[in-house]
Amino acid sequence: MSTQTKFLLDESKLPRRWYNIAADLPVPLAPPLHPGTLQPLGPDDLAPLFPMELILQEVSTEREIEIPEPIREVFRLWRPSPLVRAHRLEKALGTPAKIYYKYEGVSPAGSHKPNTAIPQAWYNAQAGIRKLTTETGAGQWGSSLAFAGALFGIDVTVFQVRVSYDQKPYRRALMETYGAKCIASPSNLTASGRAILEKDPNHPGSLGIAISEAVEVAATNDDTKYSLGSVLNHVLMHQSIIGLEAMLQFEMAGDDPDVIIGCTGGGSNFAGLAFPFIGQQLRGGRKRRIVAVEPSACPSLTRGKFAYDFGDTAHLTPLTKMHTLGSTFTPPGFHAGGLRYHGMAPMVSHLKELGLIEATAYPQTACFEAGVLFARSEGIVPAPEANHAVKSAIVEALRCKAEGRSEVIVFNLSGHGHFDMSAYSSYFGGQLVDQGYDEKELAMALAGLPSVPA
């Protein structure tokens, strides 16, 4: 039995190409629709928001896309991220299962998000863009794009969801350290923000609203483009570097995962780890269980409707077919801010509909309990988002114990929780509650889904 704990890779072995699952789909993705005409979108429709190279990646069906050398050079600052065998967690659970985690918290911003922030900033810089707007929930994406902007000389403006802006002042300080400007959303700076504030001056904000504000600024300023931290096909493709590395690291470990787990907000870290493995299966390889984990308070994959919907609250973005709680739905202000999104990546939703992945949901206190056990066994304090994956891995490991099976489980530890310690304090102080969402509001948001001709 191997007692090795940590698996890294030679720089010479680091992936040189991203993996694009669109090449291996048995059924193609439903096309995104123009918000005005409800007709399928053309590449030019996205040109006000994104540089052409990223638009071409968004619609590409090439299986592999070269990672440009300047991007790989930045990645070498922290990649490969380690694949770690959680021996001590296994022992604490008394499970015959082998638990591995891929640790993305080693990036400068503390999560997987720089894996796409770096390429997005670089392609924008190549296209001569000097200003980017974006939104951030927990602050992870904002810090990642701020970091990337600093490397490539781009001014970054971040609309941060109000509740996390108030809860996480140090995330804002980090964004400012990298040179970005941070604005609490909803704000007075945009028509979308003002419309929300008029109805409710104390609105806690949501990712859907922050996206509207960032998109509005990019769409109304010729010199400014927009950058999204999750959901889109090209973002998921950039994250595939996680799974591509993990495959090589599992070869070194002499193991092969039976269960692959990731938490899902917009779906990017989950897809990053899982899609290369799913691709192998779609090309005739072995079938594994792939589990997406979301918060019970914002359960788009497990409780949402698979339908065309807007990506934002003010309906400025294209419509995509996805699992959605309705674009007007405001999830309760729980602590995993990065998972408070009404929709899901269309590609993740599509795979769910095709039966290629499973989805499950847990309330936040159970997730914090799992995260604390993980920290006390493995030393790393997970981000509240990542606690959802930890919880699911523990559930699977305990199932293996009950069934006497020694399956191999891997989960994506998408980030560390060093900026989320106030959430841990609330948990230890017994103030963390499992908020349900408002069923009436959900029903209303779903009833308000746009009707799209079949």
Closer Cβ to ligand PLP, 252 or 372, answer by number: 372
Tokens of 421: 């310690």
Rounded Cα distance, 386 and 265, in Å: 10
| 266 touches ligand PLP by CB under 6 A | yes
* Strand-pair partners of 111: 415
Omega prior to 108 cis, within 30 of 0: no
Q: What's the min distance (Å) between Cβ of 111 and ligand PLP?
A: 4
Closer Cβ to ligand PLP, 206 or 230, answer by number: 230
Please select the residue that binds ligand PLP; options are 167, 233, 269, 364, rule is CB under 6 A.
269
Site string for ligand PLP, 95-134 (x = CB under 6 A): ----------------x-x---------------------
Please select the residue that binds ligand PLP; options are 20, 140, 157, 364, rule is CB under 6 A.
140
Give the three-state DSSP class for 162: helix
CB of 412 closer than 8 Å to CB of 112: yes
CB of 151 closer than 8 Å to CB of 120: no
Please select the residue that binds ligand PLP; options are 186, 243, 265, 371, rule is CB under 6 A.
265
Closer Cβ to ligand PLP, 145 or 196, answer by number: 145
| 208 touches ligand PLP by CB under 6 A | no
Site string for ligand PLP, 214-253 (x = CB under 6 A): ----------------x-----------------------
Rounded Cα distance, 278 and 260, in Å: 10
Query: Which residues from 367-396 bind ligand PLP, rule CB under 6 A?
Result: 383, 385-386
Closer Cβ to ligand PLP, 143 or 249, answer by number: 143
Residue 405 DSSP class: -
DSSP alpha helix (H) spans, 132-184: 140-152, 162-167, 169-177
Please select the residue that binds ligand PLP; options are 142, 205, 267, 279, rule is CB under 6 A.
267
Burial pattern 223-243, b for ≥16 Cβ within 10 A else e, equals ebbbbbbbbbbbbbbbbbbbb
| 84 touches ligand PLP by CB under 6 A | no
Q: What's the min distance (Å) between Cβ of 128 and ligand PLP?
A: 28
Length of the chain: 454
Q: What's the min distance (Å) between Cβ of 433 and ligand PLP?
A: 21
| 143 touches ligand PLP by CB under 6 A | no
CB of 95 closer than 8 Å to CB of 377: no
Pairing of strands 6-7, 83-85: antiparallel
Q: Minimal CA–CA distance to 260: which of 279, 249, 273, 244?
A: 273
Q: What's the min distance (Å) between Cβ of 236 and ligand PLP?
A: 8
Rg from Cα positions in the chain: 20
| 53 touches ligand PLP by CB under 6 A | no
CB of 196 closer than 8 Å to CB of 103: no
Rounded Cα distance, 209 and 200, in Å: 13
| 268 touches ligand PLP by CB under 6 A | yes
| 263 touches ligand PLP by CB under 6 A | yes
Closer Cβ to ligand PLP, 95 or 147, answer by number: 147
Query: Which residues from 287-346 bind ligand PLP, rule CB under 6 A?
Result: 338-339
Q: What's the min distance (Å) between Cβ of 188 and ligand PLP?
A: 26
Site string for ligand PLP, 408-447 (x = CB under 6 A): ------xx--------------------------------
Closer Cβ to ligand PLP, 390 or 400, answer by number: 390
Q: How many chain residues interact with ligand PLP (CB under 6 A)?
A: 21
Residue nearest to ligand PLP (CB): 415
Q: What's the min distance (Å) between Cβ of 367 and ligand PLP?
A: 12
CB of 267 closer than 8 Å to CB of 237: no
Closer Cβ to ligand PLP, 269 or 349, answer by number: 269
CB of 253 closer than 8 Å to CB of 100: yes
Q: What's the min distance (Å) between Cβ of 427 and ligand PLP?
A: 17
Q: Is 253 left (phi over 0), alpha (psi -120 to 50) or beta?
A: alpha
- Residue 197's CB is within 10 A of a number of other CB atoms, namely 15
- Residue 377's CB is within 10 A of a number of other CB atoms, namely 17
Q: What's the min distance (Å) between Cβ of 285 and ligand PLP?
A: 24
* Strand-pair partners of 185: 161
**Binding residues for ligand PLP, per CB under 6 A?**
111, 113, 138, 140-141, 230, 263-270, 338-339, 383, 385-386, 414-415
